[in-house]
Amino acid sequence: MTGLFISFEGIDGAGKSTHIDHLADAFRAAGREVCLTREPGGTPLAEQLRELVLHRAMDSLTEALLIFAGRRDHLQQVIEPALARGAVVLCDRFTDASFAYQGGGRGFDLAVLATLESWVQRTEAAGLRQPDLTVWFDLPPTVAAARLAGARAPDRFESQPEAFFTRVAAGYAVRATEAPARFARIDAAVDRDAVARQIAGVFADRGWLPAEEGA
Ligand code: TYD
């Protein structure tokens, strides 16, 4: 079996988590090995970098370098070996988040991000490794903010004003336009069941999972 690399993206409050867990169950039920992982993080080293990135003050270049350093470790230690075994890698955020948050949100240089992407994602197996599919949970920042309100102590990104998330959302939209075949846009402003039906449709259309009853 060939491995599948699937990333999940969207602004904070888009509601990715339950859907990722559900997909993991569906792939396991279909007999696939599932590697459930996340960024920033996914290895002991990258999880330590995540703590720093989410909670320590730093300038934008330092932030981008730490995120991509963690990504390199994650790719080498976890993602590439899993894909080589034929597993389905479900990754909660990947490089599109760097373009959306660091590039869009923080206004960091997109050309530097593209350079880091080309260094970090160069692998023997794939040339430039990219997800086979990116499930993009798209919803207006005002709806996301209402969902997040009072949820828990916010990190360095969650504490940003709504205008930041408007720029992040625009960053995702640009990435989606640049790689339309890779992106599946999900309207995440509707209720959870309606979101789940859209996602089930995306995976059934590609022949990666059986069509869900009632979907
Ligand atoms: P998130 O998936 O939202 O974690 P949690 O659900 O536990 O809050 O990711 C943490 C934050 O990291 C999120 O606000 C987006 C940010 N982030 C970046 O700024 N750049 C990146 O490249 C990645 C992967 C995440």
Predicted pLDDT of residue 3: 97
Computed over every residue of the chain, the mean pLDDT equals 96
Asked whether the beta carbons of 204 and 215 are under 8 A apart, the reply is yes
Ligand 1 midpoint to CA 39 (Å): 7
- 157 Cα nearest atom in ligand 1: 14
Predicted pLDDT of residue 150: 74
Predicted pLDDT of residue 94: 98
Ligand 1 midpoint to CA 13 (Å): 11
Ligand 1 midpoint to CA 211 (Å): 30
| Residue 12 Cβ contacting ligand 1 at under 6 Å | yes
Q: How confident is the model at residue 213 (pLDDT cuts 50, 70, 90)?
A: low
More confident residue, 153 or 17: 17
Predicted pLDDT of residue 179: 98
Predicted pLDDT of residue 152: 78
Predicted pLDDT of residue 89: 99
- 98 Cα nearest atom in ligand 1: 22
| Residue 105 Cβ contacting ligand 1 at under 6 Å | no
* pTM as predicted: 0.97
- 95 Cα nearest atom in ligand 1: 22
What's the whole-number mean pLDDT along residues 87-103?
Answer: 98
Ligand 1 midpoint to CA 195 (Å): 21
The full set of domains in the chain, from first to last, is 4-205 (3.40.50.300)
| Residue 129 Cβ contacting ligand 1 at under 6 Å | no
DSSP 3-state percent helix, strand, coil across the chain (nearest 5): 50, 15, 35
What's the whole-number mean pLDDT along residues 76-80?
Answer: 98
Percentage of the chain surpassing pLDDT 70?
A: 99
Ligand 1 midpoint to CA 190 (Å): 22
User: Taking 70 as the threshold, does the pLDDT of residue 214 lie above it?
Assistant: no
**Cα separation, 174 vs 98, whole angstroms:** 13
- 39 Cα nearest atom in ligand 1: 24
Rg (CA), the chain: 17
Predicted pLDDT of residue 153: 86
Residues 146-181 have pLDDT tens digits of: 888 877 789 999 999 999 999 999 999 999 999 999
Asked whether the beta carbons of 199 and 150 are under 8 A apart, the reply is no
Lowest mean pLDDT among 14-18, 28-32, 48-52: 14-18
* CA 54 to centroid of chain Cα atoms: 16
| Residue 93 Cβ contacting ligand 1 at under 6 Å | yes
Going by DSSP bridges, is the β-strand pair 34-38/4-10 parallel, antiparallel, or unpaired?
Answer: unpaired
Ligand 1 midpoint to CA 135 (Å): 15
